[in-house]
Amino acid sequence: MAFCRWVAEAVGTLNGGIAVDGKTARGSGSGGETAIHMVSAFATELGVVLGQEKVAAKSNEITAIPGTPPVSE
């Protein structure tokens, strides 16, 4: 998997896992606008976010993984 190879190069060997979680930004849908949905990849052992990606409403986290950028912006 390309994402796992990138993580290994960027942070070395991960002893922990990578948690992938989707969240809706609270209050982002006020005023009739569509709420913002984000998926994050988090290195549990290192305690750092590896990447985040804005996704479609209620998108599945698993399908969002290949689109996660290599560096958080």
pLDDT of residue 7: 67
Q: What is the pLDDT of residue 13?
A: 64
pLDDT for residue 11: 66
**Model confidence at 72: pLDDT above 60:** no
Adjacency order of strands within the sheet including 18-24: 18-24, 37-43, 48-55
Q: What is the token pair recorded at 52?
A: 């985040």
pTM of the predicted model, to two decimals? 0.60
What span, in angstroms and rounded, lies between the C-alpha atoms of 5 and 12? 10
Nearest-angstrom CA–CA distance, 55 and 24: 10
Output 64 or 72, whichever has higher pLDDT: 64
3-49 pLDDT, tens digit each: 777 767 776 666 778 888 888 888 887 777 888 888 888 888 888 88
Tell which phi-psi region holds residue 19, choosing left (phi > 0), alpha (psi between -120 and 50) or beta.
Answer: beta
